[in-house]
Amino acid sequence: MRSRQPLPRIVKQLGAVSFFNDLASEMVYPLLPALMTVRLGGTALTLGALDGIADAMAATVKLASGWLAERLRWRGPLVVGGYAVAAAVRPVMGVVGSAWQVIALRAADRLGKGVRNPPRDAVIADASPGTMRGRAFGFHRAMDHAGAVVGPVVAWVLIAVAGSTPAEVIVWSVVPGLLAVGVVAWAMGRVRAAGRGKREAGVAPGERDEGRRPPDRLTAQPSTLLFGLIVAFAFARFPETLFLLRLQDLGVAIAAVPVLWAALHLVRSAASYPGGWLSDHLGPRPTMLVGWLLYAAVCFGLATAETGATGALWFLAFGLVAATTESPERAFIAASARVARRGRHFGLYHASVGMAALPGSLMFGAVYVGAGAPLALAISGGLVLALFLVGSAGGWRGRARA
């Protein structure tokens, strides 16, 4: 019966929003390594800073956004405003003249993400019963990655068929970005109206889901330890821009990078919903352990790859990591927090992983420049393998049940 329960309408609507937003974002992202290293004179350290600084700046906003998200009237403006900021600043990357300006605009784009993510995830968690939160977040992540499949394909068509420059492609990303803003404004308006009707009827938000049963039992390990391991995983992750640079080092043509980026997200999109289902049935911790082990294998595989074809295969395998980590992480946060504090907990989660990513990105960028990609990848894989061993210490049991 659990698998037949339909997803809430707002989950589907927010999935459509993420589709359009990531279509716009991923028209831009795979072109940034070439834009910054070829046209603007950046290095691997610059690329590490691109992701790290952007995520760290976004983290400064996520705590405040999560705190405000506990006030239902703020959720709509925060979610809509966050998508609007990204839609406005993203196309400007195509007309700037220096690497630091790209970093600043990327940071502004991520600030919009920081504003919208905690309230959006709180909306999804509140709308979804505990027995299907993994699938709800899995569907949302699947739609997000589906947009990331289409975006690079659109970029490739504009470059290879229409003859556009990378800068022109980045400017065209304004179109799907505006579509995302329009859809989310409509969807959050409906949520606000529905919430007002429940309050007038004397029904507290989330009462139907949480008020009649105890919180989910997620794992045999203390939740603080699991949360710490999630944050440590964010630190130990290799920046995705450096994954793309590694492919270029192995001989993959720049024109093929958007296609590979699209293929990566095709894997992520196809596997995200099954990953969420696995989290609902096994529990978040065992599912994340699978993802961490896969990540370590990908790092060691890319570190030892000698051809572009081998590197591309390991890069596509990297798509399975998102499917087994993103949805379980969010399901864990949703079930470990009281309904009234979900916004704050999602803010803490997003802020913590964002802040942890900055020193990790800078470290891996510096090692990449000073000692090469194989060592940087081996360090990242080794750190995550250590997290896997720590997380496995309590066994693999931990089915999430109400």
| Cα–Cα–Cα angle for 264, 268, 272, rounded to 5 degrees | 175
Is pLDDT above 80 for 200?
no
Q: What is the pLDDT of residue 195?
A: 53
Q: Which residue has the higher pLDDT, 249 or 212?
A: 249
Region 230-250: what's the mean pLDDT? 91
- Residue 389, pLDDT above cutoff 90: yes
Confidence of residue 242 (pLDDT cuts 50, 70, 90): confident
Which distant-in-sequence residues (6+ apart) come within 8 Å of 66 by Cβ?
118, 119, 122, 343, 344, 345, 346, 347, 348, 350, 351
pLDDT tens digit sequence for 158-176 = 888 888 888 888 899 999 9
pLDDT > 90? residue 296 = yes
Return the pLDDT at 290: 94
Instruction: Look at residue 258 and tell me whether its pLDDT is greater than 70.
Output: yes
pLDDT of residue 342: 75
Please choose, from the candidates 361, 296, 349, the residue with its C-alpha nearest in 3D space to the C-alpha of residue 44: 361
380 or 161: which leads in pLDDT:
380
Q: Is the dihedral of CA 121, 127, 133, 136 positive or negative?
A: negative
- Choice between 40 and 156, residue whose per-residue pLDDT is larger: 156
Residue predicted with more confidence, 335 or 214: 335
Residue 83: pLDDT band (50, 70, 90) is very high
Q: Mean pLDDT for the chain?
A: 82
Q: What pLDDT, on a 0 to 100 scale, did the predictor assign at position 131?
A: 79
Range with the poorest average pLDDT among 146-160, 213-227, 330-344: 213-227
- C-alpha span between 341 and 205 (Å, rounded): 12
User: pLDDT-derived band of residue 239, with 50, 70 and 90 as boundaries?
Assistant: confident
Helix axes 9-28, 72-89, angle to 10 degrees: 20
Listed in sequence order, the residues at least 6 apart from 92 whose beta carbon sits closer than 8 Å to its beta carbon are 105
Q: pLDDT band for 202, please (50, 70, 90 cuts).
A: very low
CATH of the domain spanning 2-394: 1.20.1250.20
Residue 364 CA to residue 349 CA, distance in Å, equals: 23
SS3 217: strand
Alpha carbon distance 9, 19 (integer Å): 15
pLDDT band, very low/low/confident/very high, at 41 (cuts 50, 70, 90):
low
Per-residue model confidence (pLDDT) at position 359: 86
152 against 116, higher pLDDT: 116
Question: What are the domain boundaries of the chain?
Answer: 2-394
Instruction: Give pLDDT tens digits for 52-71.
Output: 677 667 777 887 888 888 78
More confident residue, 337 or 252: 252
Integer-rounded Cα Rg, in Å, for the chain is 20
Backbone dihedral region for residue 222 (phi beyond 0: left; psi -120 to 50: alpha; all else: beta): beta
CB distance 235 to 357 below 8 Å: yes
Q: What is the DSSP string of 80-129?
A: HHHHHHHHHHGGGGGG--SHHHHHHHHHHHHHHHHHHHHHHHHHHHHHS-
User: CA 6: distance to chain centroid?
Assistant: 24
Which residues, in sequence order, are CB contacts of 254 under 8 Å at separation 6+?
34, 38, 248
The CB-side HSE value for 236 (13 A sphere, CA atoms) comes to 22
pLDDT of residue 197: 45
Going by pLDDT thresholds of 50, 70 and 90, the confidence category of residue 402 is very low
Enter the pTM of the model. 0.72
